[in-house]
Amino acid sequence: MECQECGRAVQPEDRFCTGCGIALQPVTPTVETDRPAQSAAPDPTTIADEPTEQMPDISRRAQPAASPSALTAEPEAPLGDASETNPADEWDADDPVWAATGAIPVHAGADEPTEPAAVEGVTSQLPATEPIDVALDPATATPYDVWQAEVPTGETTGVAPTTTAEMPIAAGHPQKPTGFRLGAVSMIALVTGMVTLFSLFANIIQVTSDTRLAPNDATPVGFRVGTWIADDLADNLSVAGLLAIVLMIAGGVAAGFHWRWGAGVAGGAGLAVAGLAALTIGLAQIPIDAAYEFVGIPSEQQFTLTITRDLGYWLTIAAGALGVVLFFAAINDASGDRRSGLNPWVAALGALAAVVTAAGPLLPENQAVFSDNWYLVEGPGGTPAMLVVGRLVQLGLLLLAGVVGFLTVRRWGLGLAIGGTLPIIWLAASTLFDLTDRPVGPAYRNPGATDMHVHGVTIIGVSALAAMSVLAVIAAYDQGVRERR
């Protein structure tokens, strides 16, 4: 048996042609008559007692081969008696209306496919649907194709990992290396520390005589023949110098690791060394003036005194000059300190304490007047001019380190204040508590004082300065911990 449309061989029991899909036998759908039809909107609480109507017969007859005229014709009405169908019944709305179908081209063996004639108003005909096996190329397949591909049970499909592009580092402030680097501050601090150490234990003044001298009642106080080092002038100067050296070297090493407070400590210790050097040179002038005074006393004994400013004298001057240079070298690191400031109230109180400490040794005592701080008093036992200048230099450098250091409100400034004031605190404490035999206070002593002691205002200023320094260090450490969280 052959299909009348395409000529393909079909079986007698086939209802549709496998080539063109046309109906070979009339299709009459059967409807079960014993099943009641459902109403459009049944009430769930009640059950209808009356039987429903039978579904209309929607069987269709077999259509002949499609023709151009048939494609444009109106769709054929469904079979059945139209008089038996109620127009108001909801089943009429659900009755399907079959659209007209056109001829579908098929492949006739190995020959070229025959294309049907184009019909106006009809969409392009589709070929017969057959399963097509498409092999995915792993090189061109997308991840979606791989996932959509069928995978046999028990096997997994490997997906090549995709490489993501590396995101560039966000541009920002370049971080400085944390390794040690021997910079200008570290190098100058090392040299200044070595020079200061040699100056503390080298001979500063040497007085010699060609004959043996016998002391008498006219011999000035402080005159003797021999040599002087820093401890002979005041036995708390060497400890103050060593403390400044430790601060200087520690600050220089910290500056090599790019820690801002390290450069500040080194610069402050440099100012402290310069102040100690000025005070030491001023104290060295006391035995020199005493020798000149002794030579001016009339005597029957013939002698020759030789006064020598020895190596320690010049090393002390060099140490003071290097300390000032170190301070200016440390200023370069102060400009790069971009961290948040310290507590302004602590900084203000610290600067005020530095002012009080520097003003304490200037207060006159007994019959002296304030102008005696810079005017010379002629006569035996008067303060040498070099000592007047030296003590003023030390107080000025103390004021610079304390006020500028605290008011900078940065870690560099805090290091500057600590490095510049800690040796002065030692001078005041050692003199106040008599920790040594022949101590000297900050800036020697007050004008008009007859003995070595510390003025009350100086004690208050030094105490407040030490307290504010400790409080500022604690506040800076706490702030650093909070910034790292």
pLDDT tens string, the chain, 485 residues long: the values are 677 777 777 777 777 777 777 777 665 554 444 454 444 444 544 444 444 444 544 444 444 444 444 444 444 444 444 444 454 444 454 555 555 555 555 554 444 444 444 444 444 455 555 555 555 555 555 544 444 445 455 555 555 555 555 555 544 444 555 578 888 999 999 999 999 999 999 999 999 999 888 778 888 888 889 999 999 999 999 999 999 999 999 999 999 998 888 999 999 999 999 999 999 999 999 999 999 988 888 888 888 899 999 999 999 999 999 999 999 999 988 776 666 667 889 999 999 999 999 999 999 998 889 999 988 766 666 789 999 999 999 999 999 999 999 999 888 999 999 999 999 999 999 999 999 999 999 999 999 898 899 999 999 999 999 999 999 999 888 888 887 77
CA distance linking residue 204 with residue 194, whole number of Å: 16
For residue 110, the model assigns a pLDDT of 45
Look up residue 60 and give its two tokens.
């269709």
Note whether 467 and 391 are within 8 A (CB). Answer: no
CA distance linking residue 254 with residue 260, whole number of Å: 8
For residue 17, the model assigns a pLDDT of 78
CA distance linking residue 282 with residue 245, whole number of Å: 21
Question: What phi, psi does 14 have (nearest 5°)?
Answer: -70, 140
For residue 485, the model assigns a pLDDT of 72
For residue 178, the model assigns a pLDDT of 59
For residue 392, the model assigns a pLDDT of 96
Q: Which SS3 state, helix, strand or coil, does residue 9 take?
A: strand
Q: Taking Cα atoms as reference points, which of 327, 336, 337 lies closest to residue 184?
A: 327
For residue 277, the model assigns a pLDDT of 97
Note whether 287 and 222 are within 8 A (CB). Answer: yes
For residue 153, the model assigns a pLDDT of 53
For residue 6, the model assigns a pLDDT of 77
For residue 72, the model assigns a pLDDT of 43
**Exposed/middle/buried for 251, CB within 10 Å: 0-12, 13-18, 19+?**
buried
CA distance linking residue 84 with residue 40, whole number of Å: 19
